[in-house]
Structure 1
Amino acid sequence: MVLLAGISTQALLSVAAGNHPLHPAPARTAGTVRKHLVYFKDKAGTPHSISQPQTFLSARSVQRRQRQNIAILPRDLPVSPAYVQQVKAVSGAQVWYTSRWFNAAVVACDSATLQQLQALPCVRSARTLNRGLPGTRKRGNGDQVPTTQERSTRNQYGKAFTQAQMIGAVKMHEAGFRGEGMQIAVFDAGFPGVNTAPAFAALYQEQRLASTFNFVDKNTAVYQRNSHGTQCLSTMAGNQPGVYIGTAPKATYHLCITEDASSEHPVEEANWLLAAEYADSAGVDIISSSLGYNTFDYPSIDYTYADLNGRTALSSRAATVAARVGMLVVNSAGNEGASSWRYVTAPADADSILSVGAVDSLLVRASFSSRGPTADGRIKPNLAAMGFQTAIVAPDGSVNRGNGTSYSCPVLAGMVAGFWQANPRLTAQQVISFLQRSGSRATAPNDEVGYGIPNFVSAYNLANPGTPLAASAAAARQELFIYPNPIKETELYLQLAVGFQAVPLRVRIYDARGALVSEQQVAPTTASAVRLQPGVLGKGVYTCTISAGREQRTVRFVKL
């Protein structure tokens, strides 16, 4: 298991499973055994306390809340272990997971056992999550099969240049923000080839794959199932210069399988909820979810447009809570724009998240991109990015093109990571606000692309009016970064751009809470790099501010 800021993957999942050791998934039983979300009446008897969140949240999760002045509430507490034991004591009931936010348990049982569970004094109600048998019928997600390769448009980025350049991510990278120190959880249907394709090799070489978990099968095996997740991940994490570079090639990732591509039932929304709680506990900054729900396999009940109000769909309610605890949720708007449904799908209707539509390389909305508004009249999608003929990496490492808001979502999520890295003192909601204000339709948002196509430089300048980042000056800052990142020992170096050479520098390092932990004056030098001397640093995320006269840059690094 990979340690996550002091709390291991196993520990996080132990809490999610009701504070008992992680055990193999119960064997699938044929017949009438189904999964149900069993809601408890309260959290009486929990051994945890909101005054001591370290028993169920990682230090990074607590710090994320503290940075944004978000209180830890009773909803964050794990469910009562006594209630979990009462459910387990009912013959035939198999507890798969528990949900802190919904105060519930995912239980597999038949209808007779469910009646017994509903009679327990600790149970408030129950909802059936999957009604059909495995492998019955699955509606397509609308993403088209990738077409053949074509000639690269730019040398370093390969085919990924246009989608990155469109939202200012190329300028963002030149300014030194590639997602360093940011953590992104990716929810999808599978990640085959991520452990073998060259575009993902840096994830392992630089130890930036923080954790994996398969919520469908209840194990850590994610390099399997559907390749959709691999393709979506590549638009952010791909890092093969000269072939393909994603929008957040230096971020740290958590890979979560929540989607069962063989069927479509609300149990996958429950998996989304569980993965979001897991991401919260791990201290994740951003969730990238290229998933959407509106119609289900028979006999599960479809949503209606009236349900798309941000308060009804299970996944939308989960996404809203994820936003309330300080994570920034980026979700695909849906591919229903040309269908009879037309509108966004859940959880894209959720409040306080970024729902992403799709445009082509000419900035024109793709016909399949779902539209707004939500049933209660809110603007959706919020923003748009390239989702038509988007460059993606296949499990075999080849670079192809594909269509779908599934791709515009992570393309933008990677830029969100770099923007937040550049502005670490912003809250998640402030990040959304600045990105929307930078959009191509910021003054006249509509129901097709929301606030339009955002731009990193414009958003950065809105957030930093006193020290704007000129697009023409971005290239001059290209080589200013800290390495190694993450850092294990004590050696830390600052790579200098031309504008930061031969001038005195002031280097300040802040911890995750914003406290100054080190300050150093660097004498003028023509060397390409200088060694920093921050002293002994504890494990965590640090922000380094480098000042050269009126010029100032901020980069993040991680101490393992």
Structure 2
Amino acid sequence: MQRLVLLMLFLFCFGSLHAQQTEPKKYLVYLSDKNNTPYTIQQPAQFLSEKAIARRQRQQISVTTRDLPVNPAYVQTIKGTGVEVWYTSRWFNAVVVRGTAEQLAQVNALSFVKNSRSLNRISSPSATNGTLAVKNSSGTSSEALNTMLAPGDYGLAYHQANMLGATELHDAGFHGEGMTIAVLDAGFPGVNTIPAFAHLYQNNQVIGTFDFVTRTENVYGANAHGTSVLSTMAAYLPGKMIGTAYKANYLLLRTEDAPTEHNIEEVNWLIAAEYADSAGADVINSSLGYTVFDAPSVSYSYEQMDGNTTIVARAADFAAATGILVVTSAGNDGNKTWKYISSPADADSVLTVGAVDSLGVVASFSSRGPTADGRIKPDVVALGANAYVLNSAGNLVKSNGTSFSGPIMAGFATTLWQANLSKTNYEIIQLIHRLGSKASAPDNTLGYGIPNYSRIVTGLPTLGAEEGVALVNPVTGNDLIILLADNWRIQLTELQIIDATGKLILKKMLQPDQERQTIDLQALALQKGVYLCRFISGNQIATIRFVKL
């Protein structure tokens, strides 16, 4: 009897081992080169959208070999081993495959394969091969959306927007128009039916959706975390809730498989970021963070939070290198043993956001810095303790987490960038630092503090002459004298004068084809102080401060 039990135990163990060896899993396969690829950096339109190319050109970023797609001949050869190819990664020059250990051995034996790594314990079932597509639309803003908003229009969400001065940016005419935000999250149930999001569909502001977990286009299921995150930026229901960038265009991308935690989710993030890049996204919001994984995936240590080690931190930095502003939540471990930021919050080139309460006091759960290599994190903070969000039923509820301070900040950053479009993504991060309440003494709890648009006068350096616009400064009488270079006279230029609080005082079109122009300020009855002049001509934007004596 004992021998029979031992035999059965042996057969059980052997069967389990055999199942582990033959059950398909996902792997990341790194390739050695992009030799003989049919793609070239001289023809980026083969693999990047017009908007993606324009974003690079605006920031003087060159297309490099890292942007080139994986060699399709290599992909076909890998498929020949019997594995299923899920995704390819331009930036990592890698392929995500699903297959057995035996099939992986065949893949690893290929001459152009450098190495591979497992991404999850067991594979998810094979999914429909959806097509990653972006609507050919820049988004149009409906006249039905009121652009002259009162505090009551924001409902209970007014304070979280006003804390940053997002309301002042809205008053100045910046709501996210023409900007695209990619939201990487765990699902968006209810977004396509909740009234507060109806304008996104009426105005073609949702320009792409994809579920990178199941490889389908339907993102309106799974975890409602993404719905709440999106509401802080995109909601528009006057009297109930208005988000910080409600007129921006959105890419809704599911990367997170909420019930589990494995490296595959980092790779989903990577592939989604590449998709966002190629689709022309200006901003990525990521309310996700990675430190601890389910066994047997190996968790990260604090020493690896150095901005260069984790898959997702490297992906975030690559995204930033293409000109995307990556905004990520710091994490919710501040009152736990770990206490430090997660990844990609540790990345070198991202804007990491912690959480405060309504009084500006740091939330106990907000993850702290520094990074393992000593950099200050978080960068800045926003309301994340008792923030107002929408749930999947469309109800306004209070919720806690840097998951919400992050997107509140992302919407603000998007409209700030819209108002200063000549700046690069890195310059916008620097500007947000300068607008912070602790700009002169940043720390690893609040970073540079709570940024506010009202500090824009001191936050902006004196600009203009090098951009083709200059003022006779200071202004001692009632005549504001403007000098315009040729590049500002080839098309109409709009002038805006803004006071130190961000209030729009004057908006008018300048005379065409005149190098020197005079604006009579007498009717404005300007008090002594510092003001901003903003010039907008096509894609050109320049902001200059002047002193009225």
For 2:511 and 2:259, the matched residues in 1 are separated by: 53
Report deviation, 1:207: 1.1
Report deviation, 1:507: 7.6
User: Which residue pairs with 1:168 in the alignment?
Assistant: 165
The answer on 1:358 being equivalent to 2:348 is no
The answer on 1:109 being equivalent to 2:99 is yes
For 2:349 and 2:55, the matched residues in 1 are separated by: 17
- Residue correspondence of structure 1 range 122-201 to structure 2 within 5 A: 122-132=112-122, 154-201=151-198
Whether the 8 Å CA contact 1:61–1:280 is kept in 2: the answer is: yes
SS in 1 for 2:510: strand
Whether the 8 Å CA contact 1:171–1:471 is kept in 2: the answer is: no
Q: How far does the alpha carbon of each residue in 1:9-39 deviate from its partner, in whole angstroms, 9 at most, with x for none?
A: xxxxxxxxxxxxxxxxxxxx99621100000
User: Which residue pairs with 2:274 in the alignment?
Assistant: 277
For 1:118 and 1:248, the matched residues in 2 are separated by: 46
Whether the 8 Å CA contact 1:372–1:447 is kept in 2: the answer is: yes
User: Which residue pairs with 2:109 in the alignment?
Assistant: 119
Match of 2:89 among 83, 87, 99: 99
Q: How far does the alpha carbon of each residue in 1:212-255 deviate from its partner, in whole angstroms, 9 at most, with x for none?
A: 01111111101111000000000000111111001001111000
Report deviation, 1:131: 1.4
Distance 1:245 1:31, change over 3 A: farther
SS in 1 for 2:154: coil
Whether the 8 Å CA contact 1:441–1:450 is kept in 2: the answer is: yes
Aligned residue pairs, count: 455
Report deviation, 1:506: 2.3
| Counterpart residue type for residue 73 of structure 1 | T
User: Which residue pairs with 2:367 in the alignment?
Assistant: 370
User: Which residue pairs with 2:79 in the alignment?
Assistant: 88
Distance 1:129 1:341, change over 3 A: same
- Residue correspondence of structure 1 range 40-439 to structure 2 within 5 A: 40-91=31-82, 93-132=83-122, 154-439=151-436
Whether the 8 Å CA contact 1:419–1:460 is kept in 2: the answer is: no
Distance 1:460 1:63, change over 3 A: farther
Report deviation, 1:505: 2.9
SS in 1 for 2:223: coil
Q: How far does the alpha carbon of each residue in 1:277-310 deviate from its partner, in whole angstroms, 9 at most, with x for none?
A: 0011011000000000000011100000111111
Distance 1:341 1:543, change over 3 A: same
SS in 1 for 2:95: strand
For 2:420 and 2:460, the matched residues in 1 are separated by: 8
Report deviation, 1:397: 1.3
Distance 1:155 1:102, change over 3 A: same
Q: How far does the alpha carbon of each residue in 1:329-366 deviate from its partner, in whole angstroms, 9 at most, with x for none?
A: 00000001111111000110001110100000000000
5+ residue gaps in structure 2?
Answer: 1-19, 126-149, 464-495, 514-536
For 1:158 and 1:117, the matched residues in 2 are separated by: 56
The answer on 1:505 being equivalent to 2:509 is yes
Distance 1:182 1:464, change over 3 A: farther
| Counterpart residue type for residue 288 of structure 2 | L
SS in 2 for 1:155: helix
| Counterpart residue type for residue 85 of structure 1 | Q
User: Which residue pairs with 1:469 in the alignment?
Assistant: 498
For 2:23 and 2:220, the matched residues in 1 are separated by: 30
User: Which residue pairs with 1:451 in the alignment?
Assistant: 448
For 2:105 and 2:121, the matched residues in 1 are separated by: 16
| Counterpart residue type for residue 122 of structure 1 | F
For 1:164 and 1:473, the matched residues in 2 are separated by: 14
For 1:122 and 1:472, the matched residues in 2 are separated by: 59
For 1:417 and 1:391, the matched residues in 2 are separated by: 20
Q: Percent identity?
A: 50
Whether the 8 Å CA contact 1:507–1:544 is kept in 2: the answer is: no
Q: How far does the alpha carbon of each residue in 1:376-411 deviate from its partner, in whole angstroms, 9 at most, with x for none?
A: 111111110000000001121111110000000000
User: Which residue pairs with 1:482 in the alignment?
Assistant: none
For 1:265 and 1:358, the matched residues in 2 are separated by: 26
For 1:77 and 1:465, the matched residues in 2 are separated by: 39
For 1:238 and 1:449, the matched residues in 2 are separated by: 27
Whether the 8 Å CA contact 2:420–2:541 is kept in 1: the answer is: no
User: Which residue pairs with 2:9 in the alignment?
Assistant: none
For 1:288 and 1:436, the matched residues in 2 are separated by: 18
For 2:382 and 2:196, the matched residues in 1 are separated by: 22
- Residue correspondence of structure 1 range 507-546 to structure 2 within 5 A: 542-543=538-539
Distance 1:542 1:134, change over 3 A: same
Whether the 8 Å CA contact 1:38–1:107 is kept in 2: the answer is: yes
Q: TM-score, normalised by structure 2?
A: 0.78
Whether the 8 Å CA contact 2:419–2:541 is kept in 1: the answer is: no
For 1:437 and 1:191, the matched residues in 2 are separated by: 34
SS in 2 for 1:452: coil
SS in 1 for 2:415: helix
For 2:116 and 2:538, the matched residues in 1 are separated by: 44
For 2:379 and 2:426, the matched residues in 1 are separated by: 13
For 2:166 and 2:246, the matched residues in 1 are separated by: 11
Report deviation, 1:461: 5.1
Whether the 8 Å CA contact 1:216–1:258 is kept in 2: the answer is: yes
Name segments (4+ residues, structure 1) moved above 2 Å. 29-32, 132-135, 459-473, 504-508, 541-547
For 2:76 and 2:431, the matched residues in 1 are separated by: 47
For 2:124 and 2:76, the matched residues in 1 are separated by: 28
User: Which residue pairs with 1:513 in the alignment?
Assistant: none
SS in 2 for 1:396: coil
Whether the 8 Å CA contact 2:422–2:540 is kept in 1: the answer is: no
Q: How far does the alpha carbon of each residue in 1:422-453 deviate from its partner, in whole angstroms, 9 at most, with x for none?
A: 00100000000010011111111111111111
For 1:435 and 1:545, the matched residues in 2 are separated by: 18
Whether the 8 Å CA contact 1:134–1:262 is kept in 2: the answer is: no
SS in 1 for 2:290: coil
Report deviation, 1:543: 3.9
For 2:456 and 2:45, the matched residues in 1 are separated by: 35
For 1:97 and 1:216, the matched residues in 2 are separated by: 11
| Counterpart residue type for residue 118 of structure 2 | T
Report deviation, 1:470: 2.2
For 2:116 and 2:179, the matched residues in 1 are separated by: 37
Report deviation, 1:132: 4.4
Q: TM-score, normalised by structure 1?
A: 0.77
Q: How far does the alpha carbon of each residue in 1:93-138 deviate from its partner, in whole angstroms, 9 at most, with x for none?
A: 0000000000000000111111111111010000111114669xxx
User: Which residue pairs with 1:440 in the alignment?
Assistant: 437
